[in-house]
Chains A and B, each alone.
Chain A
Amino acid sequence: MKQPKTIIEKIWEKHTVVQEADKPDLLYIDLHLVHEVTSPQAFEGLRLAGRKVRQPERTYATVDHNVPTIHRPIIRDEVARKQMETLRSNCAEFGIRLADIDHPDQGIVHVIGPQLGLTQPGKTIVCGDSHTSTHGAFGALAFGIGTSEVEHVLATQTLWQNKPKTLNVHIEGSLGTGVTAKDLILAIIGKFGVKFGTGYVLEYTGEAIRDLSMEERMTVCNMSIEAGARAGLISPDETTFEYLRGRRYAPEGSDFEAAVSEWKNLATDDGAVYDHTVYLDASEIEPQVTWGTNPGMCLPISASVPDPALIEDKDERASVEQALAYMGLEANQQLTSIEIQHVFIGSCTNSRITDLRKAASVIQGRKVHPSVRAMVVPGSFTVKMQAEQEGLDQIFQDAGFEWRDAGCSMCLAMNEDVVPAGERCASTSNRNFEGRQGTGARTHLASPEMAAAAAIEGRFVDIRQAVAPTV
């Protein structure tokens, strides 16, 4: 009988080019996504060594991190403009496809890969960005790399990688009304911590995961890195195949059916053994909000800010104290008492069409609170166009939201979309680190529905009470 295997082991074995003693394995990379911020030094390295890009057709580039989301194509930031021009000239020189700032396929790299059907089950996918884990939603092994590794993949289409350990994140039960994929992944990180995935690839399994749409699965896999795991994936199933059918770079016709039968074999075998397993019951999860300066510092909306005086471990107490000081919060303060001045709906975590639909359904016919500045930044130009066809832009703008062009925007505030020091933002993004959305800015991570409700109320509210549940 064949040894049962996890999807992680199956993909690994299929991509191992060289396996020798005292070395990591040399892993073949099927798809390399490139953006303007982490690639210039890699291309420069190739030029200096007189090297070429080995497989330009396995490489796809776009601009997302520092593109303006308003008044395009004028880019006032000289340094940012130079970085984007550098990507343009590098792509021309090395023969790489580029969805440039004015291209209809432009968008956040982790939104456009799946949207174009470039992301497929069983592929190895890398990008010079830690949220590459997003693509794991399709049953791909996808992980972020540094610029030296970007250069290595450009030159060789491979990477030396140690075989990761496997960790099963098993979620039984069903998510309750008003509880989203974002709450699920925040609850996982809140419970198991920001480093429980270090050294592992996560596989999300169980009923609650199977029930998620592809876009919800992307939200979950996206934040694997916030749990310390470079990659997190979900075995592909009918949901995956249906999402991919008809996408531009997905196989067509009988090739698609052949691909599906191959993809079906990728799923983790019954009886496969993981190095570690953690469990969570989805039905126990409430809508989540972060109160601190890393994504593990999150709590259910019904809870209060932690009291450092009650924490015994001195290092833990110190980090909670530092976080509360930075965030300007009081111990034991109700999360629903936190007033916000900004709302950001966007980022590779939550900027897809279903995210925008859900946020729009919360604000429809209502107005943004007078002390709040709210903006929606669609994940891609395609998402933006689709939303406009559905009239979502009108719903947002009628409520008082700004409606922007696609990019990473206020998730990391490399462009002009910045939260001022000392002000507070309800954000659908993935990181609440100090200074992430602007020097001194205070970030609270939440789902699109929770962020939208906060925009209306000017403070966090329990979405389950804020809007009548749709039956």
Chain B
Amino acid sequence: MEPIKTHNGLVYPLPKRNVDTDQIIPKQFLKRIERAGFGQFLFYNWRFDENDKPRADFTLNQPKYEGVSVLISGDNFGCGSSREHAPWALLDYGFKVIIAPSFADIFYNNTTKNGILSIKLSEEQIDYLLNQAEKNSYTLTIDLENQKVYDKLGFEAAFDIPAYNKHMLLNGLDEIGITLSYADRITQFEQTH
């Protein structure tokens, strides 16, 4: 997994609550056995019509949002299924950071395991960010080390992240490798339980 320290990127606003994983990646694309290549299917039923043609009214299809890497959305983002295909699709499309008032637990874990930084900000802060990104070509900087999000217009917000997640993301670590360094403890547990 790629380490993420600071990220500076174009923002895409998706002002919806309860964006579920069936919307992020519909089930017809879950049959592949690879991790790569899911970006083309991201938000498929919103991006494409029944003839697989891009829907002009879905904003992600608009030229101004080409090259976006920061997603801003509503409350309870990523609710629903545990499919890791959702963060795979977001990452493959180019999203490195997701900002929302809250995230579903399984989705939040899944993003962290894939080097995507999920950040919780308040509804008011999200409203400001959505507004900026809807009006302009809007760029945000995310500084994980100092746990700050800021723009060029003077907006700055601090965010919380568990120390463990921060460490894993900053260093792009292989978690299984770390856990296997505790193999003796696991063996001991197995022998005594």
Binding site for B on A (CB under 8 A): 14, 17-18, 22-24, 26, 28, 37-38, 40-41, 44, 49, 51, 54-55, 65-66, 77, 79-80, 82-83, 86, 128-130, 143-149, 151-152, 155-158, 160, 162, 194-195, 198-199, 225, 228-230, 294, 315, 319, 322, 412-414, 421, 431, 433-436, 439-440
A26 to B176, CA, bound (A): 12
A86, B33: Cβ atoms closer than 8 Å:
yes
B26 (CB) vs chain A CBs: closest residue: A435
Given contacts A160-B164, A433-B23, contact A38 B31 (CB under 8 A): no
B102, A195: Cβ atoms closer than 8 Å:
yes
Question: What string of 1s and 0s marks CB contacts (under 8 Å) between B178-191 and chain A?
Answer: 01101101100110
Q: How far is the CB of A129 from chain B (nearest CB, A)?
A: 6
B18, A194: Cβ atoms closer than 8 Å:
yes
Q: Tell which of A23, A80, A151 touches B31, judged by Cβ atoms closer than 8 Å.
A: A80
A144 (CB) vs chain B CBs: closest residue: B82
Residues on A with beta carbons closer than 8 Å to the beta carbon of B45: 434-435, 439-440
Q: How far is the CB of A31 from chain B (nearest CB, A)?
A: 14
Given contacts A23-B164, A160-B175, contact A146 B20 (CB under 8 A): no
User: When A and B form their complex, what is the total count of cross-chain residue pairs whose Cβ atoms lie within 8 Å?
Assistant: 171
Q: Tell which of A79, A162, A194 touches B32, judged by Cβ atoms closer than 8 Å.
A: A79
Residues on B with beta carbons closer than 8 Å to the beta carbon of A86: 33
A439 (CB) vs chain B CBs: closest residue: B45
Given contacts A26-B179, A149-B109, contact A41 B20 (CB under 8 A): no
A431, B33: Cβ atoms closer than 8 Å:
no
B105, A228: Cβ atoms closer than 8 Å:
yes
A148, B110: Cβ atoms closer than 8 Å:
yes
Residues on B with beta carbons closer than 8 Å to the beta carbon of A412: 22, 27, 81
Residues on B with beta carbons closer than 8 Å to the beta carbon of A319: 16-18
Residues on B with beta carbons closer than 8 Å to the beta carbon of A439: 26, 28, 45, 50
Given contacts A82-B33, A228-B104, contact A38 B84 (CB under 8 A): yes
With an 8 A cutoff between CB atoms, is B74 at the interface?
yes
Q: How far is the CB of A38 from chain B (nearest CB, A)?
A: 7
Question: What string of 1s and 0s marks CB contacts (under 8 Å) between B120-156 and chain A?
Answer: 0000000000000000000000000000000000000
Residues on B with beta carbons closer than 8 Å to the beta carbon of A14: 193
A145, B175: Cβ atoms closer than 8 Å:
no
B18, A146: Cβ atoms closer than 8 Å:
no
B82, A145: Cβ atoms closer than 8 Å:
yes
Residues on B with beta carbons closer than 8 Å to the beta carbon of A38: 82-84
B76, A195: Cβ atoms closer than 8 Å:
yes
A148, B113: Cβ atoms closer than 8 Å:
yes
Q: Tell which of B26, B31, B102, B185 touches A17, judged by Cβ atoms closer than 8 Å.
A: B185
A40 to B164, CA, bound (A): 27
Residues on B with beta carbons closer than 8 Å to the beta carbon of A156: 176, 179-180, 183, 186
Residues on B with beta carbons closer than 8 Å to the beta carbon of A436: 22, 27
Q: How far is the CB of A288 from chain B (nearest CB, A)?
A: 19
Given contacts A28-B186, A160-B164, contact A49 B33 (CB under 8 A): no
B102, A146: Cβ atoms closer than 8 Å:
no
Residues on B with beta carbons closer than 8 Å to the beta carbon of A28: 186, 189-190, 193
- Some 19 contacts from A to B, beta carbons below 8 A apart, are A22-B163, A24-B162, A28-B193, A37-B31, A38-B84, A40-B33, A49-B176, A83-B31, A86-B33, A144-B106, A146-B83, A148-B84, A152-B175, A155-B176, A156-B186, A157-B190, A294-B20, A412-B22, A434-B45
With an 8 A cutoff between CB atoms, is B114 at the interface?
yes
A28 (CB) vs chain B CBs: closest residue: B189
Q: Tell which of A22, A129, A225 touches B164, judged by Cβ atoms closer than 8 Å.
A: A22
A161 (CB) vs chain B CBs: closest residue: B109
Q: How far is the CB of A447 from chain B (nearest CB, A)?
A: 21
A28 to B50, CA, bound (A): 46
Given contacts A14-B193, A17-B186, contact A160 B179 (CB under 8 A): yes
With an 8 A cutoff between CB atoms, is B34 at the interface?
yes
Q: How far is the CB of B120 from chain A (nearest CB, A)?
A: 11
Binding site for A on B (CB under 8 A): 16-18, 20, 22-23, 26-28, 30-35, 45, 50, 74-76, 79-84, 87, 102, 104-106, 109-110, 113-114, 162-164, 167, 175-176, 179-180, 182-183, 185-186, 189-190, 193
- Among A66, A143, A147, the one with the most B-chain Cβ atoms within 10 Å of its Cβ is A147
Q: How far is the CB of A75 from chain B (nearest CB, A)?
A: 11
A256 to B138, CA, bound (A): 64
A77, B31: Cβ atoms closer than 8 Å:
yes
Residues on B with beta carbons closer than 8 Å to the beta carbon of A79: 31-32
- Among B26, B79, B189, the one with the most A-chain Cβ atoms within 10 Å of its Cβ is B79
Q: How far is the CB of A197 from chain B (nearest CB, A)?
A: 9
A154 (CB) vs chain B CBs: closest residue: B176
Residues on A with beta carbons closer than 8 Å to the beta carbon of B33: 40-41, 44, 82-83, 86
Q: How far is the CB of B107 from chain A (nearest CB, A)?
A: 8
A215 to B16, CA, bound (A): 35
Residues on B with beta carbons closer than 8 Å to the beta carbon of A194: 18, 76, 79
A24, B105: Cβ atoms closer than 8 Å:
no
B82, A228: Cβ atoms closer than 8 Å:
no
A228, B79: Cβ atoms closer than 8 Å:
yes
A17, B189: Cβ atoms closer than 8 Å:
yes
A231 to B114, CA, bound (A): 23
Given contacts A155-B180, A431-B81, A440-B45, 4 further A-B contacts (CB under 8 A): A14-B193, A37-B30, A230-B106, A433-B23
A51 to B174, CA, bound (A): 13
Given contacts A44-B33, A431-B22, A433-B23, contact A146 B176 (CB under 8 A): no
Q: How far is the CB of B156 from chain A (nearest CB, A)?
A: 25
Residues on A with beta carbons closer than 8 Å to the beta carbon of B35: 41, 44, 147
A195, B79: Cβ atoms closer than 8 Å:
yes
A435 to B49, CA, bound (A): 12
A261 to B97, CA, bound (A): 49
A294 to B18, CA, bound (A): 8
A23 to B43, CA, bound (A): 34
